[in-house]
Structure 1
Amino acid sequence: MNLWLGTLPVFLVAATLAILLVKRWRKSALKIFTALNIVMMAGALALLAGALSAAPAAATGSVAAAAATPAGAGGAALIAAAIAVAGSSIGAAFAVAYTGSAALAAMSERPEIFGRAMVVVGLAEGIAIYGLIISIILIGKA
């Protein structure tokens, strides 16, 4: 069975417990969720530190290629690619939100500027594509 499919019941139970917790204790639920978030962040940072300090796995036939690559360089490039995609996607989301709402407001007054408004929204979406290109370059170097 797929690992992600196996975690679906755990997610549903956790979501149900969270809803019940918020309904029962409104004031203390925020403190509990904040503490849980801090614990999860600490665990994620520990996992990240372990991944960055681990030596790369070498294939059986390419021992010389593995020796030429510095330890952790491939993992760091993959993490940098993930950061590039995440940062550019978040930036594009903000840009599309602001330009999209402004374009809709302008089109409600003058419907004939639809083409120009969509060009501006498309340029804002290009930010995510730039991050994707950078990540492809970084993955190629990993």
Structure 2
Amino acid sequence: MMVWIIVAPLALMVAAPAAVAIRRWRKKALGFLLAGSAGVALTAVLVTAFAPSAHAAGNAATTAGAGGSALIAAAIAVAGSSLGAAIAVAYTGSAALAAMSERPEMFGRAMVVVGLAEGIAIYGLVVAIILIGKA
């Protein structure tokens, strides 16, 4: 079950841009996707071949499960909040510039809105620090 919790969001994050890229640039995008898939497969084979086995690691393989899950959760928290903040800043920043081009006195209010959008990334960082501290 744990594997699907990790793989499902990653698959969605790769599938959506891939579908858009294939729609826009048919032959180039397909070539890039095939090359990327081959690179990921080769990396997986190399990691599997050269990774130490669970028997060689001894007791460390069984005790690293909870800490590893906390680190993955922290990474997901930072990545998700950063992506959300980036999207929010993109929209609020462009709207703030449009408003300031018409009324320059709106600068203070516009920057407050953009700053609130960036606060989303800071919240994700705080959550990640708490998760790592608990691990």
Category of TM-score, reference length = shorter chain: 0.5 to 0.7
Aligned-pair CA distance for 1:135: 0.3
Counterpart for residue 31 of structure 1:
30
| Superposition map of 1:125-136 within 5 A | 125-136=118-129
Please identify the structure whose Cα radius of gyration is greater.
1
Unaligned runs of at least 5 residues, structure 2: 1-24
Structure 2 CA distance for aligned equivalents of residues 91 and 43 of structure 1: 31
Q: Mind listing any 5+ residue stretches in structure 1 that lack a counterpart?
A: 1-25
| Cα displacement (A) at 1:28 | 4.1
1:128 to 1:27, Cα distance in 2 relative to 1, 3 A? closer
1:78 aligns with 2:77: no
Structure 2 distance, partners of 1:80, 1:86, is 10
Alpha-carbon spacing, 1:104–1:35, altered in 2? closer, same or farther (3 Å)? same
Aligned runs of 1:39-78 on 2, under 5 Å? 39-42=38-41, 70-78=63-71
Deviations 1:109-138 (A, max 9, x none): 000010000000000000000000000001
Distance 1:136 1:106 in 2: 36
Q: Please give the per-residue CA displacement for 1:52-111, whole angstroms capped at 9, x wherever unaligned.
A: xx69x79xxxx9xx7xx8541101111111111011001000000000000000000000
Change in 2 beyond 3 A, CA 1:37/1:90: same
Q: Which residue of 2 aligns with 1:120?
A: 113
Is residue 108 of structure 1 aligned with residue 101 of structure 2?
A: yes
What's the TM-score once normalised by structure 1's chain length?
A: 0.61
Equivalent residue for 1:10? none
TM-score under structure 2 normalisation? 0.64
Q: Give the CA RMSD over aligned residues.
A: 3.3
Read off the aligned partner of 2:32 and give its amino acid letter.
F
Determine which structure has the larger helix proportion and give its number.
2
1:37, CA displacement in angstroms?
2.1
Separation in 1, partners of 2:72, 2:41: 17
State the aligned residue count: 106
For 1:91, the equivalent position in structure 2 comes to: 84
Taking only the aligned residue pairs, the percentage that are identical comes to 70
